[in-house]
Structure formats: C-alpha cells, structure tokens
C-alpha cells in the first residue's frame, strides 16, 4: 500500500541565529524520566543524545537571563490518554519528574500539562506575554508529538519558533525529519543548533 521509500523534501536550512535575550524563552519539552530515562515506560532512546546539547544551551540561556520554561506531562490516574500510550508520567511520581541532568533551578518556570500541547489548558501563554517574549527556542521530546504541537501552538499565537536540531528527539528518523519539515513549512520556524544560538 505504501511506497518502499519516502523522498525527503528539499534541504532545510540550518543556520546560526542571534536572539534578543530579554525577548526569548528556552522551552524544554517533557525531558522527564518517563521519556528520557532508560527505565521510563515511554523511553525515547535518542533523547539521551540531546541531553548534553540541551544542557549547554541551558547554561548559555541562564548566563544571559533568558526565560527558561519546562513542560511536564502530568497525568491523573484515569487520564484518557492512557488508552493510547498506556499509563505514564502520573502526577507526583518519579516518571513525571525532569531528568536529573536537566533539573530546574529557582526562577525557572514549570508548566504541568495534560495533553501534547504545552499551551493547551495551561498558563504558558500568559507567562510569555507577561515577560514580553517574542522568540521561543523549543527543545525536548517527543519531536513529532509534544514538541511539534507546542511549536505549532507557539507559532499560531505569533511567537517566532526556533528549533535547535540537536536538541530534539523522536522514536524514528521519519518522525524526526517530518517534524522539522512541519515546523519550517507550516509554521515558518527556523532551524539551528545549540551552538548556533547566540543570545544578545
């Protein structure tokens, strides 16, 4: 029914970018034990490769007083999403916590969410508006699910979306590439790397 191969779209540009620190937010999506720890029930193996790049970007952001925002899957025991993915990231459990390597510090914002989109039913947009944020640098996992839905929602609200390609992860290369395609094609997002971002 499906072709044996899928042609990758034209090359997507990955360029260095300079962002005004006071108008930028680094959003770290769902880097929780459920997804980014080997013992997590929905472990994404590729997520381990993104930890160091995200950590370096986090250090760069904090050194320039960039707003740092984490999203966390935060489910109740009877969450209907469990019919799709099975039980995971139950509120208050080890799985729901951010991995040790990327622990939040005082001043960081934690957004607890029930669905894929970091904006849906949360106060994320309020935080960004109050801080006069214009640029969202979105990292984390899973690329084609929570990262993509959050990026799309940010773009539809008028925020510039920047994706460091070495700071997102997916369960397959198809999912990873298709995420980059959607972000650039649908939402006019910009692609870079953790090293390519300069906060000024």
**Residues marked as catalytic:** 30, 113, 146
The pair phi, psi for residue 151, each rounded to 5°, is -60, -45
Of 99, 98, 100, 130, whose CA–CA distance to 111 is shortest?
98
CA distance 123 to 63: 25
Q: What number of other Cβ atoms are within 10 A of residue 118's Cβ?
A: 29
Q: Any residues with CB less than 8 A from the CB of 131 and at least 6 apart, and which?
A: 25, 67
Contact 163, 151 (CB under 8 A): yes
Residue with tokens 């590439």: 177
Q: How many whole angstroms from its chain centre is CA 28?
A: 5
């Amino acid at each position: 029914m499906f072709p044996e191969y899928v042609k990758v779209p034209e090359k997507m540009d990955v360029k260095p970018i300079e962002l005004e620190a006071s108008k930028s937010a680094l959003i770290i999506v769902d880097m929780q034990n459920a997804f980014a720890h080997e013992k997590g029930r929905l472990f994404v193996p590729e997520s381990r490769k993104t930890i160091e790049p995200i950590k370096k970007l986090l250090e760069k952001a904090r050194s320039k007083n960039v707003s740092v925002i984490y999203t966390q899957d935060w489910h109740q025991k009877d969450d209907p999403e469990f019919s799709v993915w099975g039980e995971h990231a139950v509120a208050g459990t080890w799985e729901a916590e951010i991995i040790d390597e990327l622990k939040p510090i005082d001043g960081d914002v934690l957004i607890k969410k029930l669905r894929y989109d970091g904006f849906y039913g949360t106060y994320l947009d309020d935080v960004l508006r109050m801080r006069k944020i214009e640029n969202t640098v979105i990292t984390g996992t899973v690329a084609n699910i929570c990262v993509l839905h959050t990026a799309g929602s940010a773009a539809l609200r008028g925020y510039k979306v920047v994706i460091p390609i070495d700071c997102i992860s997916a369960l397959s290369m198809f999912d990873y590439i298709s995420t980059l395609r959607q972000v650039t094609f649908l939402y006019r997002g910009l692609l870079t790397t953790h090293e390519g971002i300069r906060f000024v």
